[in-house]
Structure 1
Amino acid sequence: MECLSFDGWLPIRVWPVDGQWRVDWCWFGDTPLHQPFFREAVDDALRLPFNQAFRRQTSLAALTEWQAQSPGIAPSAFILHASRCGSTLLSQMLAQLDDHIVVSEPPPLDALLRGDLPDAERRAAIVGLLSAYGQRRRGVEQRLVVKLDAWNIGEWPLLQTCFPDTPWLFLYRDPLEIAVSHLRRPGMHMVPGMLGDCVLEDGLQFEGREDFIARRLGRLLEAGLLHCRGSGGLAVNYSELPDAMAGRLARFFRLNDVQTQQVFAAAAQHAKQPSQVFVADAEDKRREASALLQARVQTCARAPYEALEKLRGA
């Protein structure tokens, strides 16, 4: 084993160097991952003088070796989503619970899911990575919830082979509201050429931002529908939040009565900017949508959305 112990350390980056994959580790100690996104927790940790003075890099095999020496909590739930649809709210509500580890869109997981490693090596690395995130760094942790990037719905079959018994949900929203959000401030998967190969690519020419966003959103919803039907994902609409955390989502995440009350401490704040109060914006987004955007969303994304709603109702 390259290092005897990684207590307090978490993997923050995995990448190939001359055909060999490396892992970059950062010391977190017992600090919980309470930020809306994993990358924000990394930014905070890297400001610590210790992490500025000491860095730790290993081969990819160290993930598996550390798992064998110190098995972490296995994932208790996965959150997949269509983007801009309340997944951050959901993860931030769960992050209120002391016995939950919530890892939100960790870049190392995306890198392994979409990397070019041999299948067996990639699966072992993914299991080792999530074992590292599932370490009981404070001693009270009991559950690990992982929120993936939106485009990782394309890699769900791979992740499910690693964790076949872990329940998962797919969160989505009226596609017109999602599309307006990406027109205002596009996510990287809604910018041509930024993300690289993923399930959202259709290989066709596009005409303008409205066309590009609507088509990719349609493919994202189609993938979510396909996998919900095929592998038992729970379809959840943004309109159910946050109230569903006192109902069917409380059952899904196996929350007790006390925990169900605790998670609502985050419901009034803006999920991505916790210092701000949340203000509902669905109607504003619908009014803002141009006729062109409405037409493209209707053509590209309305059918899978309605099919998801039918599945949810059933």
Structure 2
Amino acid sequence: MDGLNLHGWLPIRIWQPRDEWRVDWCWFGDRPLSQPFFREAVEEVLRLPFNQAFRRQTPLSGLTEWRQPGPGLTPSAFIFHASRCGSTLVSQMLACLDDHILVSEPPPLDALLRSSLAPQERAAALVGLLSAYGQVRRGTEQRLVIKLDAWNIGELPLLRQCFADTPWLFLYRDPLEIAVSHLRRAGMHMTPGLIGPSALDDDEPFQDRESWIARRLGRLLQLGLEHCREHHGLALNYSELPAAMEGHLGDFFGLSAEQRRAAFARVGQHAKQPAQAFVDDRQGKQQQASARLREQLEQWAQAPYVALEQWRSAVRQPRLSSSATTPPCP
């Protein structure tokens, strides 16, 4: 890149227009990534006059050559999740800490993980991408936490080839409550054909939304279970939030007592819409579920969910007594 200085620039898109993979970079300067999702932070900075006038694009090799004045932080934790189960709350609790960089579901990471790149080239690009996200842009950053898209649980082994020592957790909840949420407003991975081929695909034809969501949710939970067993992930149920941040979840992230108190400033707010107060809707979701949905979830998703609960109980210290009295957040 002929010495091109990309400090303060973050990758916002990775794609293959023809034969060569390309990277789009956007100027963030010292702006923190405080929004619930990375794409929202991108939309905000793209409105800056500077970014409307100047854009930078590099070959994929730019991810490994950008390191000026030096490499960024190595990831300190990965957050995997089953969707609609509290992962945004956890990430927002961490994002309010000055020494944390929280990158939530960045599309470039998904693009690399599910790309057809050769293994060595993909691994180098993954390391370079997360190093770019780990830039110390404000001077206070010490930890980098990455929250992945729900369907990326299928690519966890690929990520661990690059970051074998980085701890990770898998967040999940009662599959009925997840499924009702997707029936109300389907996520990308619960909309046929929207995200392209993924680890959630199976050979079953589409019949109806209830069976489609139940099958994919069952596959997602099964992958989470298998990877927790094989790669020693922390299994975390939505019902443990937010109290777990005071105990074993705070330990997992290495938070001090002061940081745990600061993180709880997010509790009571709606994680995806911080201006709104959180309202616990678990009972409403349970009541809304149709007989057809319950039948399909029993067939496809209940077994891996029960197995995850058994795994969590077997490897976990006794639950915090306060978890039963502190309401969870989305």
Q: TM-score, normalised by structure 2?
A: 0.94
In structure 2, relative to structure 1, the CA distance for the partners of 1:2 and 1:22 (3 Å cut) is farther
Alignment partner, residue 189 of structure 1: 189
**2:294 is aligned with what amino acid?**
Q
1:278, CA displacement in angstroms?
Answer: 0.5
Which residue is equivalent to 2:266? 266
Is 1:64 the counterpart of 2:64? The answer is yes
User: Does 2:149 correspond to 1:155?
Assistant: no
Tell me which residue corresponds to 1:174.
174
Q: Deviations over 1:68-113 (max 9, x none)?
A: 7521000000000000000000000000100000000000000000
| Structure 1 residues 110-169: Cα deviation after superposition (integer angstroms, max 9, x where no partner) | 000001111100000000000000000001100000000000000000000010000000
Cα distance in structure 2, aligned partners of 1:138 and 1:160: 28
Matching of residues 4-43 of structure 1 within 5 Å: 4-43=4-43
Aligned to 1:209: 209
CA contact (8 A) 1:2 1:62 kept: no
Any idea what the Cα deviations from partners look like across 1:226-268, whole Å, max 9, x if unmatched? Answer: 0000000000000000000000001000000100100000111
2:36 is matched by which residue type in structure 1? P
Residues 89 and 222 from structure 1, CA distance in 2 versus in 1: closer, same or farther, beyond 3 angstroms? same
1:73 matched residue in structure 2: 73
Cα deviation code 1:42-79 (max 9, x no counterpart): 00000000000000000110110124752100000000
2:64/2:128 contact within 8 Å kept: yes
Matched with 2:123 is 123
CA distance, structure 2, for counterparts of residue 3 and residue 311 of structure 1: 50
Q: Secondary structure at the match of 2:15?
A: strand
The count of aligned residue pairs is 314
Q: Which moved more, 1:66-75 or 1:191-200?
A: 66-75
Name 1:137's counterpart in structure 2.
137
8 Å CA contact 2:7–2:68 kept in 1: the answer is no
Once the two structures are superposed, the pairs formed by residues 276-295 of structure 1 within 5 Å of their partners are: 276-295=276-295
| Greater displacement, 14-23 / 105-114 | 14-23
Q: SS of 1:198's equivalent?
A: coil
Equivalent position of 1:113 in the other structure? 113
The aligned residue for residue 102 of structure 2 is: 102
Partner of 1:309: 309
Residue 49 of structure 2: aligned partner: 49
Report the residue type matching 2:27 in the other structure: W
Name the amino acid aligned to 2:198: C
Partner of 2:93: 93
- Cα distance in 1 for partners of 2:165, 2:179 equals 33
Q: Deviation digits for residues 192-234 of structure 1, max 9, x if unmatched?
A: 1111111110021132100000000000000000000000000
- 8 A contact 1:2–1:58 mirrored in 2: no
